Amino acid sequence: MPFVDPPELPVRQPLAGWNGRFFHSEHMTFAYYQVDADAVPIHEHHHPEEEVWHVVEGRLAITIDGEERVLGPGAAAVVPSNTPHRARALEASRAIVVDHPTRDRVGGVPV
């Protein structure tokens, strides 16, 4: 799949308010999220995949290994493998989240 049009992909909701469209490359999983202002916060968790969050619009509070930062448009956060992290919306937002290597489930939802 060399070309992807995310708006054409089905929406999956791993948590209430986190509306994601997912696709994979050979080694990465991509999630394009539309996040509601009142979205359920993503609980602290960890996984073996490295993860990068890129905020496109709005503001998200991302906590990595106990340190919280507020990210606005253009900002990114890099979550190392097996590092505790969580996220919460401060307003309606859009974000692209990339995992390496690929994941077959996000928040219990197949992707």
Q: What digits encode the pLDDT tens for the residues 63-72?
A: 999 999 999 9
- Listed by start position, the domains of the chain span 11-99
Q: Specify the pLDDT at position 108.
A: 82
Q: Specify the pLDDT at position 70.
A: 98
Q: Specify the pLDDT at position 1.
A: 64
Task: Give the phi and the psi of residue 41 in degrees, each rounded to 5.
Answer: -60, 145
Q: Which amino acid, residue 66? A: G
Q: Specify burial of residue 29 (Cβ count, 10 A radius: 0-12, 13-18, 19+).
A: buried
What does the DSSP assignment read for 24-40? Answer: E-SS-EEEEEEE-TTPP
Give the closest residue to 20 by CA, choosing from 72, 56, 30. Answer: 30
Q: What's the CATH architecture for 11-99?
A: Sandwich (2.60)
Distances in Å between the Cα of 70 and the Cα atoms of 6, 25, 67, 73, 87 are 26, 29, 10, 10, 10
Low-confidence ranges of the chain (pLDDT < 50): none
